[in-house]
Structure 1
Amino acid sequence: MSLYVNNSIVSSSAFPAAPVQLCYENVNGSCVKSPYSPGPRVLLYVVFGFGAVLAVFGNLLVIISVLHFKQLYSPTNFLIASLACADFLVGATVMPFSLVRSVESCWYFGAQFCTIHSCFDVAFCYSSLFHLCFISIDRYIAVTDPLVYPTKFTVSVSRMCIGISWILPVVYSGAVFYTGVNDVGMEELSLALNCVGGCQVVINQDWFLINFLLFFIPTLVMIILYSKIFLVARKQAQKVEATVSNSESSSESYKARVAKRERKAAKTLGVTVVAFMISWLPYMIDSFFDSILGSVTPGYIYEILAWFGYYNSALNPLIYAVFYPWFRRAIKLTVTGQVLKDSSSTINLFSKGT
């Protein structure tokens, strides 16, 4: 999603070297290279590279956990595993190449792969957003009507949500980048920016508005739903206290336990949604004003905001590790190789907690 801008930046380096350097020496039309000094260069490779590694291996652990352990088979967890797939692909196919471009200020992977990379960037980041939107709908139903929820949000419904979360972003990004509609009316700027060794995407204001709405509408839906979820959760918590104090029937006690479990899951996934919005909102707001005012954001600020968003793909597994004891146990069983043993898929992950 970080390439999806109205006017691209020519240089992403905060401290360009004095001598003029080119991405490709002795090549006509080569982009000017603006490298960092050795110290910041190494630091950026470490910081950005760590994010990519964490996104790949952290989300891989989430995928393995949900798909291997049968106890985790549920509509919500299937959505979580699919979300982890999107974040895994961001870490595996987007972040490594963006890392080189950001630090070296040059694109060394060819013009054709630049288009593919841009498609991956937009598709996988929006896929994450759509997954989170469907997860918020899932949690809203689970918290507001926990006893009826299993009949409303079934595995088949979860699969449909997963399909939409993948098909729409892939079709949208492919249509935009492979039809050329993104730079209609801005062809001269596009030619000027895309020198040899550059990978800048130009988006006209009409398509940027569509892009912004695709981000804003699901985000607004999530904000509304989670606001309602926490209002309902507060009322349910008060009712649970009354249930306990009045020693009501076992049926009421069961309802209270179910409601408590769904509220806890909603709280954890709510943290995931908030983390996504905090990660991507600064970039989207900055891009929105850039589309109106022109490219007024300094290159290095733009890169920081973009990588702040990328890092969200590495953040979700950490959130699960903090809030889900079953995920911590699943990680331990996976990294120690116990998942390779017979019948490991039937291990009870909830015996020590949630």
Structure 2
Amino acid sequence: IWNKMNFNESGSLQSIHFCYESLNNSCQKHVLSIHTYAIVYTVMWAIIIITVFGNLIVIISISHFIQLHSPTNFLVFSLAVTDLLLGGFVMPPIAVQLIETCWYLGEAFCRFYLSVVITLCTSSVLHLSFISIDRYYAVCHPLTYKSKITTSLTIHLILFCWILSVAVGFLIVYLELNLIGVENLYYEKSKCVGSCLLLQNEASGLVSSLFSFYIPGFIMIVIYIKIFTVAQRQARSIQDAAQFNQTTEQKRNVASRKRETKAAKTLATVVGVFLLCWSPFFLCNIIDPLINFSTPPLLIDIFAWFGYMNSTFNPLIYGFFYSWFRKALRLIVYGKIFQSDSSRMKLFSD
């Protein structure tokens, strides 16, 4: 670290730290105390470990247990892959950047990293959108659900999510579509050695925020309001039917409807947490170009970190709401998934 001596407003001598030694265009570095370093690093790496292992358990559970092989869970599986990549690849570099206030991994990796960030965030919102549509058909159109939402359709939707997300993420960064009109501002004022910042012009910030967050978020909220309206109507009809003797088939249908409604509520919570976590970042994404990019980069990184923590919360939500997740966790921890025919174990009653 290169230290430069300077005088503050009171006239006292102060030391200014930079990310790289002997570089005139190096970014300034903010130095924390050793105790603060230790505490913040411990908390952040604990969050990263929870994110990685939590989503890894979701992935192992859905891929291993045959009972969990359903169109909805395939979408949840792919979403967990997105969250795992966010936790294992995206969160460690930004954790270091947040603490050190410097980017030490080079310009080439920064461009690749930002492309992956956009890819995974786009993938998350696309998966959540398709999950919302899946739940809509399961609760509101139960008789035609299995014929419309098939495994083949789900796999095609997952492929569409990933292909579109990769195309959007890498084209924006490598073609510098986000810098059109603000190139001079970026390279002369914002760019310095030791930074990795995604600067967006007014049009790019507005369009990306609308299509990556606000419009899908609004649509998902409307879909879930419709789902809960129908679910309440179904709950009343189930209560009325419970007063009469039911056949075994009718009882099975009632149990299926209850299970689908509970899944819808759980996944609605996932969507709600997603919107809550990413709202500060995408609000800043729209406002920052309008105030001449005066938002401190550290604050943008903090908002981004809070958004990435959505990937930490998702497996915790599954653990809180799904009994099958808790049972699968116990089987994985005790190594029972290595037993013969363990994939056919019942995690919930049909």
Normalising by structure 1, report the TM-score.
0.90
Q: Who wins on radius of gyration, i.e. which is larger?
A: 2
Q: Deviations for 1:130-166, whole angstroms, at most 9, x for unmatched residues? A: 1011000000000012232111100011112111211
Q: Deviations for 1:40-96, whole angstroms, at most 9, x for unmatched residues? A: 322221222222111111111100000011111100000000000000000111000
For 2:185 and 2:258, locate their aligned partners in 1 and report how far apart those are by CA, in whole Å.
56
Contact 1:147 1:258 in 2 (8 A): no
1:197 maps to 2:197: no
Aligned residue among 125, 130, 136 for 2:121: 125
Contact 2:202 2:286 in 1 (8 A): no
Q: Percent identity?
A: 41
1:80 maps to 2:86: no
1:187 maps to 2:175: no
Q: After the TM superposition, which residues 1-354 of structure 1 pair with which residues of structure 2 at under 5 Å, given as runs?
A: 18-192=14-188, 193-214=190-211, 215-248=213-246, 250-350=248-348
Q: Deviations for 1:237-264, whole angstroms, at most 9, x for unmatched residues? A: 1110000013355554443222211101
Contact 1:63 1:85 in 2 (8 A): yes
Contact 2:123 2:165 in 1 (8 A): yes
| Structure 2 spans left out of the alignment, 5+ residues | 1-12
Contact 1:82 1:162 in 2 (8 A): yes
For 1:307 and 1:168, locate their aligned partners in 2 and report how far apart those are by CA, in whole Å.
24
For 2:70 and 2:327, locate their aligned partners in 1 and report how far apart those are by CA, in whole Å.
18
Structure 1 residues 251, 344: closer, same or farther in 2, change over 3 A?
Answer: closer
Contact 1:326 1:349 in 2 (8 A): yes
For 2:247 and 2:344, locate their aligned partners in 1 and report how far apart those are by CA, in whole Å.
33
Q: How far off its partner does 1:282 sit?
A: 1.9
Contact 2:70 2:151 in 1 (8 A): yes
Q: How far off its partner does 1:300 sit?
A: 4.4
Contact 2:18 2:26 in 1 (8 A): yes
Q: How many equivalent residue pairs? A: 336
Contact 1:190 1:201 in 2 (8 A): no
Contact 1:61 1:331 in 2 (8 A): yes
For 2:38 and 2:68, locate their aligned partners in 1 and report how far apart those are by CA, in whole Å.
41
Contact 1:147 1:255 in 2 (8 A): no
Contact 1:127 1:166 in 2 (8 A): yes
Q: Secondary structure of 1:81's match? A: helix
After TM superposition, the structure 1 stretch with the greater mean CA deviation from structure 2, 317-326 or 18-27, is: 18-27
For 2:14 and 2:298, locate their aligned partners in 1 and report how far apart those are by CA, in whole Å.
17
Q: Secondary structure of 2:240's match? A: helix
Contact 1:146 1:258 in 2 (8 A): no
Normalising by structure 2, report the TM-score.
0.91
Q: Secondary structure of 1:130's match? A: helix
Q: How far off its partner does 1:318 sit?
A: 0.5
Q: What residue number does 2:4 align with?
A: none
Q: Deviations for 1:107-151, whole angstroms, at most 9, x for unmatched residues? A: 000100000110111111221111011000000000012232111
For 1:39 and 1:288, locate their aligned partners in 2 and report how far apart those are by CA, in whole Å.
36
Q: Deviations for 1:288-344, whole angstroms, at most 9, x for unmatched residues? A: 122222334445443332221111101111111111111111111112222122221
For 2:92 and 2:334, locate their aligned partners in 1 and report how far apart those are by CA, in whole Å.
28
Q: What residue number does 1:11 align with?
A: none
Contact 1:283 1:309 in 2 (8 A): yes
| Structure 1 spans left out of the alignment, 5+ residues | 1-16
Q: Secondary structure of 1:21's match? A: strand
For 1:247 and 1:291, locate their aligned partners in 2 and report how far apart those are by CA, in whole Å.
64
Contact 1:243 1:253 in 2 (8 A): no
Which residue identity does 1:158 align to in structure 2?
Answer: T
For 1:174 and 1:310, locate their aligned partners in 2 and report how far apart those are by CA, in whole Å.
19
Contact 2:101 2:298 in 1 (8 A): no
For 2:245 and 2:281, locate their aligned partners in 1 and report how far apart those are by CA, in whole Å.
52
For 1:42 and 1:136, locate their aligned partners in 2 and report how far apart those are by CA, in whole Å.
41
After TM superposition, the structure 1 stretch with the greater mean CA deviation from structure 2, 49-58 or 114-123, is: 49-58
Q: Secondary structure of 2:15's match? A: coil
Q: What residue number does 1:5 align with?
A: none
Contact 2:318 2:325 in 1 (8 A): yes
Q: Deviations for 1:223-248, whole angstroms, at most 9, x for unmatched residues? A: 11000000001101111000001335
Contact 1:146 1:262 in 2 (8 A): no
Q: What residue number does 1:3 align with?
A: none
Contact 2:135 2:264 in 1 (8 A): yes
